[in-house]
Chains A and B, each alone.
Chain A
Amino acid sequence: MVDAASLGIPKTFDQHPTLKPLGDGSHLMQLNMGPQHPSTHGVLRLKLQLDGEIVHDVEPVIGYLHRGSEKLAEGMNWVKFIPLTDRMDYLAAMHNNHGYVMAVEELLGGADEQVVSERAEYLRVFAAEMSRICNHLFWMGTFFLDMGAITPVFYALREREEILTFLEELCGARLTFNYMRPGGVKFDLPEDATYLNRVEAFIDRMPAQVGEYQKLLKKNDIIVGRLNGTGPLSREQALDYGITGPMLRATGIAHDLRRVAPYSVYGQLNFDIPVINQSDCYGRLQIRWAEMVQSCKILKQVIAKLRDGNLDGLCLNPNYAGGKILRIKAGGEAYSRIEHPKGEYGVHVIGDGKLKPQRVHVKAPSFANLQALPVMTRGQKIADLIATLGSVDIVLGDVDR
């Protein structure tokens, strides 16, 4: 068998160096952090090896929230899995819906038949971008909360509340939306004629709110001191560890699937991809602020399209409406990927032409990004570990699935 040793390739890394005694006869201290620790945003356990305040090594231990979603998927109809995707990353559940239904549609439609109407695609983008702002807001609030700043979370939740109210009017739920279906979306816009006007008024105001956060936080001496240079990750390391999303864009690569592999109607929309060449906590914060503003730009165009009324089609393909949706039979294999607020979210589905899937695998961005935590934190102080963990933006439901 050909392997690294036979080709003379050196081992590229050492994932878990053994506990080495220090020179003067002392040892590193092992410290357990979590699984119930407020800054881990769920149930993440970190095994730390410390030399005083310096982190020598971190080993994330996960699985405390593992619910076996992929196994459950094999026992239910194709469409019944959608509510379970909501419960993976519960802060950006719309994107989980979107990734899964796109994968199922690949199996259903083929290239020649249009499964999803243009109107439904715009509704999906509308919901997804609202969800993206929501995710970044909540991330910002809790990120600063981890570092002891209480005020930002109030600012963030104030705006998030408005978005959740809009999404609730759209689909009846605030967190676990269960909104998208193979073939479209479950509900059209609310009948309330002022809905789009109210959303647009909020979207117009949102960039100024981001400006307010920046005014409060961007040049704050404590924030800059805590975040600048904390949790560094080189471009090579980011690529080696399969990092995607805002963390990759902070290393200077504008790799955003909405732009480089357009899905849904993103190819027709005009927006920028924020990139920065500062791969630390401060850079990641800048990226996410800028992404919120860009999402507003996208939403503005989407609302104009939806209001126009010229979009063809029903919001749900009649072939999959009503009870027919439970009788979806799909065969074949597909892998679809979308740009989740946290990174690349992929769904790999295999069907054998029956009512139930044979295999559903979810490639979760939090899971992939968390793996690089040891690389970012070795040699840093333990307080910086908290900031770095926050900057990764993980949700444990997404890590463990």
Chain B
Amino acid sequence: MSVFKGVTLQHDVDTEPTADGVDVHTIHADDLFLAARSAKDQGYRILSLLSASDDAKGPMSVLYSFVKPANTIAEFGELRVRVHIAKEDEEGNALATHCPSISDIFPAAIWHEREMYDMYGITFDGNPDMRRMFLPEDWKGFPMRKDDKTPEQFVAMQDGEDIVLSEQREGSW
């Protein structure tokens, strides 16, 4: 019996526990929207976590945690979903990283998705406001990606001219 009641997913679900004992259901990105709708219909109303991570070798992944609003222990429940996002195709060419947005179902996801776009460069298709969250608009690169390079120098503007703030030091990352 699938945990995603009420919807038919197109791809297989892979379930395994995390260290804290809660199962994580790994689904295909195309199924994410249906899974999120199923979660909401089942009462998992609060988007508790939306966190991307980058493994230097494998694909990137996004972990979602949906929580039931509860008055007692018995009412509480948590549903964790993971989606993998490929960084490169089979021949090793870099791909643009895309993920479907769940912001139509969970408006709370808008800012969380913007944060992950800012840090990891994952474009969430369907998010109405896909801009950087924390970093300046003209920032180049996505700093949390494992292949991101620290800039060789940091430049700021003073009296209309660019000045170098600091050179990169040995041993930083």
Contact = CB atoms under 8 A, between A and B. Distances in A.
A261 B53 contact: no
Nearest to A332: B19
Interface stretch (A103-111, A119-127, A162-170, A317-325): A103-111
Given A1-B30, A71-B144, A261-B73, A15 B129 contact: yes
B20 A66 contact: no
B104 A3 contact: yes
Given A1-B100, A12-B104, A62-B133, A335 B126 contact: no
Interface stretch (B40-48, B84-92, B155-163): B40-48
B33 A2 contact: yes
A74 B144 CA distance: 9
A70 B144 contact: yes
Given A3-B125, A71-B144, A367 B111 contact: yes
Given A1-B125, A106-B20, A371 B108 contact: yes
A262 B19 CA distance: 17
B51 interface: yes
Contacts of B47: 242
Nearest to A336: B20
A346 B49 contact: yes
Nearest to B74: A260
Interface in B52-70: 53-55, 63, 65, 67, 69-70
Contacts of A106: 19-20
Given A70-B119, A110-B19, A259-B73, A359 B53 contact: yes
B107 A241 contact: yes
Nearest to A67: B134
A368 B112 CA distance: 8
Given A3-B100, A15-B128, A359-B53, A346 B48 contact: yes
Contacts of B73: 259-262
A9 B46 CA distance: 19
Interface in A43-85: 62-63, 66, 68, 70-71, 74-75
Interface of B is mostly: loop
A363 B48 contact: yes
Contact of B53 (A241, A332, A350, A371): A350
B135 interface: yes
A260 B71 contact: yes
A363 B34 contact: no
A361 interface: yes
Contacts of A241: 107-108
Contacts of A350: 53
A210 B16 CA distance: 48
A340 interface: no
B33 A3 contact: yes
A242 B19 contact: no
Contacts of B111: 367-368, 371
B2 interface: no
A63 B143 CA distance: 14
A107 B19 contact: yes
Interface in A308-364: 332-337, 344, 346, 348, 350, 358-359, 361, 363
A242 to B, nearest CB: 3
B22 interface: yes
A15 to B, nearest CB: 5
A244 B20 contact: no
Given A3-B125, A248-B69, A255-B70, A240 B20 contact: no
A239 B53 contact: no
Given A12-B104, A15-B129, A363 B51 contact: yes
B80 interface: yes
Nearest to B132: A63
A2 B30 contact: yes
A12 B107 contact: yes
B93 interface: no
Contacts of B172: 75
A388 B18 CA distance: 39
Contacts of A62: 133-134
Contact of B45 (A3, A239, A367): A239
B95 to A, nearest CB: 16
Nearest to B82: A333
A334 B76 contact: no
A7 B8 CA distance: 13
Nearest to B173: A75
A182 to B, nearest CB: 13
A63 B133 contact: yes
B144 A66 contact: no
17 contacts: A1-B100, A2-B34, A4-B33, A11-B128, A16-B128, A68-B143, A70-B119, A110-B19, A239-B69, A240-B107, A259-B73, A260-B75, A333-B63, A335-B80, A346-B48, A350-B53, A359-B54
Q: Which 7 A-B pairs have the closest CB atoms?
A: A242-B108, A63-B134, A4-B104, A332-B19, A66-B134, A361-B51, A260-B76
Given A74-B173, A239-B46, A335-B20, 5 more contacts: A242-B48, A260-B71, A335-B18, A335-B51, A368-B108
